[in-house]
Structure 1
């Protein structure tokens, strides 16, 4: 073999060897693992979603009002242990929130972070003031739980059965309320006598109601017949009667006896929060919370006085334009007493609200481009609570239910016609319906 052939053979062998070694090395080399980088936004959004689910589980009534029926048979506990454990949960949430890198979040999630942080701070500060010691007032409490049932959506037999299960648990909440009030009484927390008397009257009305017309039974009596077969609806009504008679009413009787015999005699004569421990600080917190500002109650009061002065000046100009012969006081008396400004029955008052709402509707596109998808309605405040509550309020929509502007028709002779436009604009449209829905 000549020298050239030998060199070529050596070269070929060398190339083959190197190639073989390289192939071998490639075969045994660990493949690179694709690194999956999850953004801070993604992690934060997953956390928010999980917290929302936990919040709904903790507030099952709220979930049902939103149309989420996963917790339809549950209620939120109201014993003292629950409120103490809630503080720990809030603190844990606060610590978890701190674990996220705020600077790595996008602008939307930075806002979400700030809102959640504010909400947790408010809730933690609120825990310093035990409102559960004074959980009853004329606007609401365990004595008006039946109204919650009226706001739910019933689209099947199981929805009514779920509400019955909820009611079976609700007597525990009434008993817990009695215990909480007793504990509060021992620590100096009471409602004003004026409020306690009205709550007693409300519970008296529940106790004196005939079982066949009881507010807690109305939901079952009005249940859609199409959801039941054979005798199912009648059986549901009988089960509800038994529950109301044997559990709900006895719990109310125990509560009302306590209110009359122990609570009312020791209820405070004062009206404001300054009549309870740390009341001044409590009121300052409530002012900050509801205004989302750091204004003090005195500063807010000064704003109010300025507004009263401005509005009175405008009223005086109107009185002058009308060539009213009397003074300001006599004009107010005229507004309050003249029959021309009042309806003498609730039906006419409700119709006036309905007409006003329809007058407002076609004007809205001149101001707004985005509208709520859910419709709204105007209905009366329930007769049982109307004497004790405000002139009007609004409850937002949910899946399968419109938003509702509730108008108080109790004593229509005390509800002036000139309130109708402003209340409709405030409570219905654009007002709370555009705000909430």
Structure 2
């Protein structure tokens, strides 16, 4: 028995040593495997996004560690710079893997990853403000509300409280967006007039909701009712939610609406990206991203795509 325990102890020690070496190599040195490196980057990207972790769902049971259910992404100018630095770092690491040391499939994977990173880096360096954070289809003011009403789970009191925590971050998230919008304004980039019209209408409609009709409140009240909580707990949660709506959500929407009205006179009278600064080059890059070719717009049109 003692001999067994001795060898068992050696085996555990060996496995721990190998695990430490593997993780150290993966996170602090050039990884031995290209596949493992890319897998690590995907995992880290998910871990960096509270929304992505919520979408996955499988880590919700560890929320007491991650606290992701109480967070939302807050992206400002500093985050754009950090993303660019990280993209260059990942590209440099990928290029350090010699093609001769990779399998045929790994070479294909490397080529695709480098292609995507080159496009990401070029867009971040040359066209950091050519996308519109506020738009009528996928603007942050729509995505955040949809995420909260459709994705954030409320299966217990803790998740209900986390829902409120997230609402209390709406104003911070929108302030981060305003940093990007202000930089976009300095670059002379504005959405088309029809985008202004739609977004102003959407923001105004949200701010004009009666308390009981607000979708963030309506969904919350319905979901906690399904939990069959005692009256005092339910009332306490709804009161905290109403406070978050008044002190964070509505002021955040108000900031965005104010910016849209302030910049409305500068709305782009044209609809195409060609009208933006260096718009033709930006359009060419987007064609490259979506077609994975270097074809010009005219060449693609002539093909019949």
TM-score range, shorter chain: 0.7 to 0.9
Q: Which moved more, 1:51-60 or 1:231-240?
A: 231-240
The separation in 2 between residues aligned to 1:133 and 1:91, in whole angstroms, is 21
Q: Does 1:156 align with 2:161?
A: no
How many angstroms does 1:244 deviate by? 0.9
Q: Does 1:75 align with 2:77?
A: no
Task: Report the equivalent of 1:137.
Answer: 135
Match of 2:40 among 50, 57, 64: 50
The separation in 2 between residues aligned to 1:102 and 1:224, in whole angstroms, is 55
Q: 1:66-215 to 2 correspondence within 5 Å?
A: 66-67=56-57, 68-69=59-60, 70=66, 71-127=68-124, 128-131=126-129, 134-144=132-142, 145-152=144-151, 154=153, 156-157=155-156, 158-215=158-215
How far does the alpha carbon of each residue in 1:350-399 deviate from its partner, in whole angstroms, 9 at most, with x for none? xxxxxxxxxxxxxxxxxxxxxxxxxxxxxxxxxxxxxxxxxxxxxxxxxx
How far does the alpha carbon of each residue in 1:238-276 deviate from its partner, in whole angstroms, 9 at most, with x for none? 21111011111112112212211x211011101111221
The separation in 2 between residues aligned to 1:50 and 1:77, in whole angstroms, is 23
How many angstroms does 1:301 deviate by? 2.4
Task: Report the equivalent of 1:344.
Answer: none
The separation in 2 between residues aligned to 1:163 and 1:78, in whole angstroms, is 20
Change (3 A) 1:237 1:114: farther
Report the secondary structure of 2:92's partner residue. Answer: helix
Task: Report the equivalent of 2:15.
Answer: none
The separation in 2 between residues aligned to 1:192 and 1:275, in whole angstroms, is 10
Structure of higher RCO (CA pairs closer than 8 Å, 6+ residues apart): 2
Q: 1:26-425 to 2 correspondence within 5 Å?
A: 43-67=33-57, 68-69=59-60, 70=66, 71-127=68-124, 128-131=126-129, 134-144=132-142, 145-152=144-151, 154=153, 156-157=155-156, 158-223=158-223, 225=225, 227=227, 229-230=229-230, 231-260=232-261, 262-304=262-304
Q: Which moved more, 1:99-108 or 1:275-284?
A: 99-108
Report the secondary structure of 2:33's partner residue. Answer: helix
How many angstroms does 1:123 deviate by? 1.4
5+ unaligned residues in a row in structure 1: which ranges?
Answer: 1-35, 308-437
The separation in 1 between residues aligned to 2:101 and 2:228, in whole angstroms, is 55
Task: Please report the RMSD computed on the Cα atoms of aligned residues, expressed in angstroms.
Answer: 2.6
The separation in 1 between residues aligned to 2:251 and 2:69, in whole angstroms, is 24
The separation in 1 between residues aligned to 2:162 and 2:130, in whole angstroms, is 26
CA contact 2:129–2:180 (8 Å) conserved in 1: no
CA contact 2:284–2:296 (8 Å) conserved in 1: yes
The separation in 1 between residues aligned to 2:233 and 2:169, in whole angstroms, is 22
CA contact 2:116–2:289 (8 Å) conserved in 1: no
Count residues in correspondence: 269
| TM norm structure 2 | 0.79
Report the secondary structure of 2:200's partner residue. Answer: helix
CA contact 1:56–1:63 (8 Å) conserved in 2: yes
How many angstroms does 1:147 deviate by? 0.8
Change (3 A) 1:291 1:159: farther
How many angstroms does 1:178 deviate by? 2.6
How many angstroms does 1:83 deviate by? 0.5
The separation in 2 between residues aligned to 1:132 and 1:211, in whole angstroms, is 36
How many angstroms does 1:216 deviate by? 1.9
Change (3 A) 1:178 1:238: same
The separation in 2 between residues aligned to 1:150 and 1:240, in whole angstroms, is 13
Q: Which has the larger radius of gyration?
A: 1
Report the secondary structure of 1:130's partner residue. Answer: coil
